[in-house]
Structure 1
Amino acid sequence: MISFEALNRQNDKITELSNVLAFLIHDRAICDTSVTCELFFEYVDKVQQHLDIEDRELYQNLLTHSDSKVCNTAKMFLSGSGEIKRVFNQYLKRWCKHRELRIKDHDQFVKETAEMFELVLRRIEDEVEHLYPTVRAVNTHWAAA
């Protein structure tokens, strides 16, 4: 099972990448560089990996827990994960093709990217404040981690 330390490192890296990318994409010339594109797809990969790891490793024990509050927390986060994946995939279909950015309307890309970053950053905050404490309470072997 993944440690909270590893989950928090993932969240820190996702946050760092979103902050750097938010700055880089505002300048159209920088937005179109291979460096920005590489960072962008590193961000995409890290978000997808993080959500997949949580889906695979965190929810099973919570969903079968006897406490309905714990079970409802798991259902809420699992549902949120599915929704983020759906929105994220729609966003990627609109702006990317074959792991390359395809930006026809730069202003709209910046706007939608900022919205995507905000969605993911809110999710990270909710994980730290609500999901991880619930997982720690249920999985006593994680309590010390």
Structure 2
Amino acid sequence: MYSLDELRKQNQDISELCDVLSVLMEQRSLHDNPYVCELLSRFKEKVWIHLVFEDNTIYAELARHGDPAVSQVAQGFHDSAKEIKKRFSAYVRHWCKPAIDEAEHRALANESREIFRLIRERIAYENEHMFPLVAEH
């Protein structure tokens, strides 16, 4: 099981990759670039590992907590991961396809911003609300 410190470190790594990829995803010339795709794949793996381990360890325990308010917060946090996984999977596949036209790139850049926004919001929520809840219980 991961400790809170390990989960915080994962969040920091994911956040830093978000920062780098946010810049790269704006560049149409980098669409399907093998290095960007490798970095995006590494990012996806880090996000996936984090989501799986947090859900299967720390938050699974909170979801079974005797206090309904605590279990409801944990369940809501778990449910939000499903949306990220679904959208993120399709996004990664789309980004690393062969070259696209300008309109497709604009749409993908918008989707990039949205995906990174969702991930950043989740990290902030986890840092500000979930970690203190875990530490408290």
Root-mean-square deviation over aligned CA pairs: 1.5
Aligned to 2:127: 128
Q: What TM-score comes out, normalization by structure 1 length? A: 0.84
Identify the residue that residue 92 of structure 2 maps to in structure 1.
92
Q: Which amino acid aligns with 1:68?
A: P
Give the distance between the partners of 2:30 and 2:83, measured in 1 at CA. 30
Match of 1:22 in 2: 22
- The equivalences for 1:1-145 within 5 A come to 1-93=1-93, 95=94, 101-102=96-97, 103-104=99-100, 105-138=104-137
Larger relative contact order, structure 1 or 2 (CA cutoff 8 Å, min sep 6): 2
Equivalent AA in structure 2 for residue 67 of structure 1: D
Q: Which moved more, 1:108-117 or 1:60-69?
A: 60-69
Cα distance 1:32–1:82, how it changes in 2: closer, same or farther (>3 A)?
closer
Q: Which runs of 4+ in 1 moved over 3 A?
A: none
Normalised to the residue count of structure 2, the TM-score between the two structures is: 0.88
For structure 1, list consecutive stretches of 5 or more residues without a partner in the other structure: 139-145
List gaps (5 residues or longer) in structure 2. Answer: none
| Percent identity over paired residues | 35
When residues 136 and 34 of structure 1 are mapped into structure 2, their CA distance, relative to the original with a 3 A threshold, is: same
